[in-house]
Amino acid sequence: MDIPDWVTRALGMGLAVLVLIMPAALVHAKARPESVAPIVFLTREGCVNTTTMRTRLDEALERLGAAKDYAVIDADTLSESDARRGYGTPTVLFDNRDLFGMPEPAPPLPSPT
């Protein structure tokens, strides 16, 4: 079966675009290794307020017409040195900042809540 020329050209152009944008995407990924999404929902197993907070976050995003595209991270799975372990749960971070203005926890990190 012969592949039409237009298909070959389209695949070539697609690969060329990937080659051109991949370095920028990798730099961006290295700058934000913790999450691809700008919104991060931090929780812990057993957190009694997680369901309510997630429901409210989903409702807010829906009202804004925004995608419900956020990372959900169990804070207990983060490395001991990750400052996000020091936030109470649940916590919503936008671009690594607490949505409600709480400063980033500094070492020594408080016990989980």
Residue 54, pLDDT score: 94
- Joined tokens for residue 36: 């691809």
Strand partners, 92: 41
Determine how β-strand 97-98 pairs with β-strand 39-43: unpaired
Query: In the sheet where 91-94 sits, what is the strand order?
Result: 71-74, 39-43, 91-94, 97-98
Tokens 């999404």, residue? 37
Structure tokens at 38: 């700008």
Q: Rounded distance, CA 31 to CA 25, Å?
A: 10
pTM: 0.64
* pLDDT tens, N- to C-terminus, the chain (113 residues): 555 565 444 443 433 333 344 444 444 444 444 445 699 999 999 999 999 999 999 999 999 898 888 999 999 999 888 999 999 999 999 998 998 899 998 877 766 65
Burial per residue of 12-26, b for 16 or more beta-carbon CB atoms within 10 angstroms, e otherwise: eeeeeeeeeeeeeee
